[in-house]
A and B are shown apart, each in its own frame.
Chain A
Amino acid sequence: MSRAEPVYDARSAPRVSPLWLLGLFRSELLVTFRRWRTLALLGVLAAVPVLVGVAVKVETSDGGSIGSGGGEGPAFISQVTNNGLFLVFTSLAATLPFFLPMAVGVVAGDAVAGEAGAGTLRYLLVAPAGRTRLLLAKLTTVVAFCLAATLTVAVAALLTGALLFPTGEVTLLSGTAVSFGEGLLRAGAIAVLVAAGLLGLAALGLFVSSLTNSGIAAMATTVGLLITVQILNAIPQLDAFHPYLFPHYWLSFADLLRDPVYWDDILKNLGLQALYTAVFGSAAWAAFTSRDVTA
């Protein structure tokens, strides 16, 4: 017969519980967050703000000041001693180039390939979870992990900052002062923005993951791609391509600390992430729904 098109979830079964997809999603979350590796990644991410906070505290305990923003990133670190809230921005800026995306790359890369390697994928598919729905649950879980990872950094930084440094009115990058409450609100929005910035990489990782039976290979490939793209993004001769690289606008979150907010790069970042997610999400779907599951 020439019915070659992969119609894996054709007509739905009559007795399907309406809450089923929710149950599958819940089960995915549980499996991801109960894994020791996931907890270790989150632990490392939580340790970074504590280390930065303690380092700043020790460095400034004799009344001296710290790093006057020599790098190209936003100069939050010099503000930390004035307001603990700035430790949130400092920590996000510090973990964004590598720690955060690496954690996302590991979880996304392992999402499908890890299950294939362990053989559990075949049992989920004959259950039958349905390939499209399973991938959707995987994507949702990876997105949830992006948010969880970013919030872990933000909350750990907030607690450390509040403990070690004074808090109060927040002086924005543009010089205006806002209340601590509004500062907190902006910090929350920044965390969500940083998480959204990781979506492109998450979709890329899921695509790589749907191609192989080895979780380790998929993780290594995803993290390798991340490093490669970061290097390309740092080569000035290639600046014509830079606006198309997914990490290019990552640090644009700082623009949320201006008054008025400078939206240009933030929107470009969101658009770029949406594009990556659409392209690699579809590629992952195409690869996964047509794939022979032989492990």
Chain B
Amino acid sequence: MAERTAVAGDTGAVIATQGLTKRYRGGQLAVDALDLSVPRGSVFGFLGPNGSGKTTTIRMLLGLIQPTGGAAHLLGEPMPGSGRRVLPRVGALIEGPALYGFLSGRANLLRYDAADPTADPRTRAARVDRALERVGLSGAAAKKARAYSLGMKQRLGLAAALLQPRELLVLDEPTNGLDPQGMREIRSLVRELAEDGSTVFLSSHLLDEIEQVCTHTAVMHHGRLVTQGTVAEMSAGARGRLTVTTPDPGEAARVLKEHGVSDLSTAGEELSGDPPPGDPAELNTALVRAGVRVRAFGVRQASLEDVFVSLTGEGFDVAG
């Protein structure tokens, strides 16, 4: 797989959009001039509040929605024009799984496999069995999909995306509805897939999940791309926050302010604020010299969540 990727390998982006725009018939601008670039081999976290245009973007990339402006390239080929050649190399889970409730889990996969023109009918059964095994559903394969739990449906949807070896996996909220155990399994599956050489494009509302598995990330807000880069860059970009625990908060606040700490807030014995550039150890020395008794002192690294909130500026589930 890794070899094939290298051969197919334009070194460029697996997903690339230039000014991609979608204005719905009602006039609503869902995606506004999006320039997205997903490097080959990355695990790419696609973030944004609900209603920020993530799903519309994913649907445009996969040829389900016709863009009203701009261009999108998938695996180096234009979409939706080259869909028939590109999409067999792409596995997708879009807005949750969709299944035929009256068919068994196995029959569902047979159906989806039959819809892929590049899938050899002679090896269909083996392919389906392998996919079922990979997501841990072999035991429930004969059960009607209607009787599946949400987590099992999610796994079956993933199995459909994994019927073939894929160069790119587009996974929209893949851990939705799973228990913590299932989430861990999916996360390790994503890492496994990435190690096999697939690029994984992951949208999730669980920020710590993105932080754990993703190498790169992009944030959307109001249909626009707010930022994109590696997860490390992103976290580093935001300054950490200084927290001091002390029985003398009043005196401590005075000293810290004197030494350039801004946006200071006090909650009982705990103070927090944005530290000035430089070594925070100096601040500690200053506190101790001023006779402030310090119980705890530290700079908390900014999490992706801090970055996210600072970029989108509002609660997670609020669409603008």
Contact = CB atoms under 8 A, between A and B. Distances in A.
B94 A126 contact: yes
Interface string B77-108: 01011111101101010111011101100010
B66 A126 contact: no
A292 B66 contact: yes
A225 interface: no
Given A27-B114, A31-B111, A34-B102, A126 B84 contact: no
A127 interface: yes
A188 B117 CA distance: 36
Interface of A is mostly: loop
A268 interface: no
B117 A130 contact: yes
B18 to A, nearest CB: 8
A246 to B, nearest CB: 31
Interface string A11-37: 111011101100110110011001110
A242 B94 CA distance: 48
B316 interface: no
Interface string B262-301: 0000000000000000000000000000000000000000
Given A1-B70, A126-B63, A128-B63, A118 B115 contact: no
B214 interface: no
B43 to A, nearest CB: 20
A119 B120 contact: no
**Interface residue tally of chain A, by bracket?**
35 or more
A3 B81 contact: yes
Contacts of B102: 34-36
A58 interface: no
Given A13-B88, A128-B87, A24 B115 contact: yes
Given A3-B78, A7-B81, A26 B117 contact: no
Interface in B45-63: 59, 62-63
Nearest to A9: B84
A26 B84 CA distance: 20
Nearest to A117: B98
B64 A293 contact: yes
Contacts of A262: none
Contacts of A119: 95-96, 98
Interface of A: 1, 3-4, 6-13, 15-17, 19-20, 23-24, 26-27, 30-31, 34-36, 118-120, 122-130, 134, 290, 292-294
19 contacts: A1-B78, A7-B81, A8-B63, A10-B82, A16-B117, A17-B117, A20-B117, A20-B121, A27-B110, A122-B94, A123-B115, A126-B64, A126-B87, A127-B87, A128-B116, A129-B116, A130-B117, A292-B65, A294-B64
